[in-house]
Amino acid sequence: MKHRTAIVTASSIVGVLLAGATAAAANLGILSATASDAALGTADPTVAAAPAPITTEPPLVLETGPAPATPQPELLAYEIPQVGVVTVARTGSSLSVSQIDAPGWQWNVGTDLSNLTVNLTDGTRLIEFTASVVNGEVTVAVAEQSPPGQGSDDGDEGYESDDHEDEGHDDD
């Protein structure tokens, strides 16, 4: 591993030296191409500089009114007991998450056309916070969901049982 590091370091140093040498050569070539036989710092007094152009037109100034004010979002804080605080920013009918203060919890945010959803989990609990604008008012709902893989103990969630004892026939 040391040998590999030494090769990479040496290659880097050689590359930097080559780049520096190339830059120095380019600068010397530019200086030698523009310098005449006269010494640097001397000027030919017979060559006059071109006069600066004189503008007689007034500068163009666009008259505009004040820039339209960007509406400031309304911040609404909602406390979820034993979890933390979700702060929602509302601008008109649009909602977004401004801040989540929930120590020990992880979260993800989802939005669709009408709802803002924040799913929070601490590894054992899953809390779903939903906010939406209904008739100009922000409504929120908080629900505790079962985290994935932590259903009931019987393991039959969503499955129909094969036990047909009540149907009066034999499965064999």
pLDDT over threshold 80, residue 167: no
Tell me how far apart the alpha carbons of residues 101 and 158 are, in angstroms, rounded to a whole number: 35
170 lies in some domain: no
80 SS3 class:
strand
**117 or 56: which leads in pLDDT:** 117
- Predicted pLDDT at 151: 54
139 lies in some domain: yes
Give the tokens for residue 143: 């629900």
C-beta of residue 129 within 8 angstroms of C-beta of residue 118: yes
pLDDT over threshold 80, residue 133: yes
90 lies in some domain: yes
40 lies in some domain: no
85 lies in some domain: yes
pLDDT mean over 144-167: 51
Tell me how far apart the alpha carbons of residues 87 and 140 are, in angstroms, rounded to a whole number: 12
Query: In this prediction, what percent of the chain has a pLDDT beyond 70?
Result: 52
Beta bridge partners of 118: 109, 129
pLDDT mean over 160-169: 42
Tell me how far apart the alpha carbons of residues 140 and 86 are, in angstroms, rounded to a whole number: 11
This model's pTM is above 0.75: no
141 lies in some domain: yes
137 lies in some domain: yes
Number of domains in the chain: 1
172 lies in some domain: no
Q: Which domain holds residue 79?
A: 74-145
C-beta of residue 144 within 8 angstroms of C-beta of residue 126: yes
pLDDT over threshold 50, residue 154: no
Give the tokens for residue 25: 């050569």
**φ and ψ at 93, to 5 degrees?**
-105, 10
